[in-house]
Amino acid sequence: MTDQASDKRVLLIVGGGVAAYKALELVRLLRKAGVGVRPILTKAGAEFVTALSLSALSEDKVYGDLFSLTDEAEMGHIQLSRSADLVVVAPATADLIAKAAHGLAGDLASTTLLATDKPVLMAPAMNVRMWLHPATQRNLETLKADGVSFVGPDDGAMACGEFGPGRLAEPPVIFEAIMEALAGPAAQSSKRGPLLGKHALVTAGPTFEPIDPVRGITNRSSGRQGYAIAGALAKLGARVTLVSGPVALPTPFGVDRVDVETARDMLAASQAALPADVGVFVAAVADWRIDEVFGTKLKKDKGGPPALTFVENPDILATLSASGPRRPKLVIGFAAETNDVEAHARAKLARKGCDWIIANDVTEPGVMGGDENAVLLISKDKTERWDRAAKDAVAHDLAQRIAESLS
């Protein structure tokens, strides 16, 4: 894909927002892959990044003014709007999205979006309330109906101090979406990969079990391994549903993410995602939840610490592993162990009724919450020891093995 993309050009509109600095990293990634980038910097965008940085990284002229005689003499705005294979808007602000949805053309960026005959990809970024506002949601629907594609936004903490959807997708994710779009509709509809036509269900991250309206029980799972697996399966052509507990990670490109908090919600969302060809249960699910969640915030002054009673949570892996018409063909569980890794994991394989267990020793430095993993793949009749590797590499190898097993 990169080879084909190396003679392609992107017209990159950089809107005004704190996330505009990420556009610089995006330009770097595109140039590294050999993709030409011609930037348009809006007036608001120029408050956040400089034309000089964009020009240096893109090795091209930066356009900004609709009424610049010099620019118009060199390349008219209509020509500019068609000078690339793809128009990318990153960050796409609420204002740019609204202008594009309504066909306004008061500045170079919006004029370009109205005049272009090329596909458009937008990476939105804005405050959560602005994103959720019915006006923005309406504008998105309009643009989607017009054929505009979107990547992101992500959930997470925002520069304005709020939390929720509205963060610009990370540059590597936008980059992948661009490469996919540059590969063209034919390549997309005949999306390559050995898992084409397969549906994968992946659970990831921790769960959050409430105690009262403001407190809860959770764990330190980062979700990284599960997210990497979801992304790797999507890259091999699978349709992927990622049922995720609360994590601060971007959704991998091409993955459908369903956000949940509790184990019971995670089970319900996983069951709703069936049928699936493969289920990969990576989430660190809380074993217990509070019997009865307090309806109001527990107070310190009410006669000492409260007595909390726990009840067991459903085992999602065991439930979906149980034989039946909706059982995925291949069910994979994870086991984080601190001793006798193989023996414990093998016992878990039998207890949960799954086909494979991916086991790791979490006492190894840098595994829990880190970027690397050293795993054993345990099936009914054999044990494989994989070398310590980056979680992305483990995910890639596992996705390959899943593809071989399902073929």
Q: Report the distance separating Cα 334 and Cα 282, nearest Å.
A: 6
Least Å distance, CB 384 to ligand C5P, is 17
Q: Which tokens is 5 given?
A: 């993309």
Nearer to ligand C5P, 63 or 281 (CB): 281
Which residues make Cβ contacts (< 8 Å) with residue 151, sequence separation at least 6? 121, 122, 123, 169, 173, 174, 177, 253
Q: Which tokens is 274 given?
A: 């069936």
Which residues make Cβ contacts (< 8 Å) with residue 56, sequence separation at least 6? none
Closest CA to 158 of 130, 123, 137: 130
Nearer to ligand C5P, 14 or 335 (CB): 335
Nearer to ligand C5P, 36 or 245 (CB): 245
Catalytic residue among 135, 160, 196, 248: 160
Q: Report the distance separating Cα 282 and Cα 358, nearest Å.
A: 9
Nearer to ligand C5P, 31 or 344 (CB): 344
Nearer to ligand C5P, 166 or 245 (CB): 245
- Could you say which residues in the range 332-351 bind ligand C5P, by CB under 6 A? 333-335, 348
Nearer to ligand C5P, 129 or 326 (CB): 326
Least Å distance, CB 156 to ligand C5P, is 23
Task: By CB under 6 A, name the one of 80, 195, 236, 283 that touches ligand C5P.
Answer: 283
Nearer to ligand C5P, 94 or 286 (CB): 286
| Beta-strand pair 375-379/356-361 | antiparallel
| Terminal-residue alpha carbon distance, the chain | 24
Q: Per DSSP, what are the bridge partners of residue 289?
A: 311
Least Å distance, CB 365 to ligand C5P, is 21
Question: Is 160 an annotated catalytic residue?
Answer: yes
Binding mask 300-339 toward ligand C5P (x if CB under 6 A, else -) reads -------------x-xxx---------------xxx----
Assess contact for 199 and 230: CB atoms under 8 A.
Answer: no
Residue with the two structure tokens 């090795």: 59
- Could you say which residues in the range 145-204 bind ligand C5P, by CB under 6 A? 203
Task: By CB under 6 A, name the one of 285, 290, 378, 399 that touches ligand C5P.
Answer: 285
Assess contact for 112 and 81: CB atoms under 8 A.
Answer: yes
Q: Report the distance separating Cα 19 and Cα 176, nearest Å.
A: 18
Candidates 145-153, 156-164, 230-238, 277-285: pick the segment binding ligand C5P (CB under 6 A): 277-285
Least Å distance, CB 53 to ligand C5P, is 44
| Beta-strand pair 255-259/239-244 | parallel
Binding mask 227-266 toward ligand C5P (x if CB under 6 A, else -) reads ------------------------------------x---
Least Å distance, CB 283 to ligand C5P, is 5
Least Å distance, CB 336 to ligand C5P, is 7
Least Å distance, CB 333 to ligand C5P, is 4
Q: Report the distance separating Cα 193 and Cα 233, nearest Å.
A: 9
Closest CA to 283 of 307, 266, 302, 306: 266
Angle 232-237-241 (CA atoms, 0-180°, nearest 5)? 70
Binding site for ligand C5P (CB under 6 A): 203, 263, 281-283, 285, 313, 315-317, 333-335, 348
Active-site amino acid positions: 160
